[in-house]
Amino acid sequence: MKRAIPVLLMVALLFGASTVSGELIGDAVATVLVTVDPNVTVNVISSVVDAGTVQTGDFEATIVFRIDANQQQLNIQIEATPLYKGNDPLEETVDPIPLANLPATISPTDAAPMNGLSNDVPLNISTGSIDGFPSQLSAPLRFESSQNNHFSQDVYVTVRYVQVDPEQPVGEYGGRVRIIVILDGYTGTTPP
């Protein structure tokens, strides 16, 4: 036991000495990580677009939307409705002015469809409605921005109509056009 006491005393002195003789300054480093999620903001430049006047024949309306996204590739869909007298889709006594059997055109100022595809998208998917107006939807078309890692630009959307009835009642007709932007990472099954 006499022999164990000096050994224990030596061990105690060593541990005690290392604690007592610590540094006068210390530091530690932690790593902070964050993931920036994709996001997009979509606005319409003018919420009312005047397509002029028509008696019969084809005519078009061009709507300017603004898209700001933090990724350079995105999918765009167009949804549009016929034009209803008095801007009233519930008025059943007057036939609406239908969408023409022609595609809508999507023209961003600084982007192009990927894989050399055309800017034209057929409105051939029957959907629900926009604000109570029965609508037709396009398939998504993928665009790539020429901007560096973002998509911040105006997008011109042209929708075509055809007025075929020479005895269509005079007056103002109205409908809706919606742009839908889908970013990578969206996992829903339908557009918002």
Nearest partner of 41 among 150, 177, 159, judged by Cα: 150
Q: Contact at 8 Å (CB) between 176 and 68?
A: no
- The helix/strand/coil state of 158 is strand
What are the φ/ψ torsions at residue 46 (nearest 5 degrees)? Answer: -130, 120
Place of tokens 């030596």: 10
Amino acid present at 96: P
Catalogue all structural domains in the chain, each as residue range(s) with its CATH number: 40-182 (2.60.40)
Q: Contact at 8 Å (CB) between 70 and 128?
A: no
Note down pLDDT in tens along the chain; length 192 residues: 555 555 554 555 455 544 455 789 999 999 999 999 899 999 999 999 999 999 999 999 999 999 999 999 999 999 999 999 999 999 888 999 999 999 999 999 999 999 999 999 999 988 789 999 999 999 999 999 999 999 999 999 999 999 999 999 999 999 999 999 999 877 776 555
Alpha-helix residue ranges (DSSP H) falling in the chain: 4-20
* Tokens describing residue 119: 């800017």
Distance of CA 29 to the CA centre of its chain: 39
Secondary structure letter of residue 116 according to DSSP: G
* Tokens describing residue 21: 């003789």
Angle value at C-alpha 126, between 121 and 127, nearest 5 degrees = 105
Query: How many beta carbons lie within 10 A of that of residue 177, not counting itself?
Result: 22
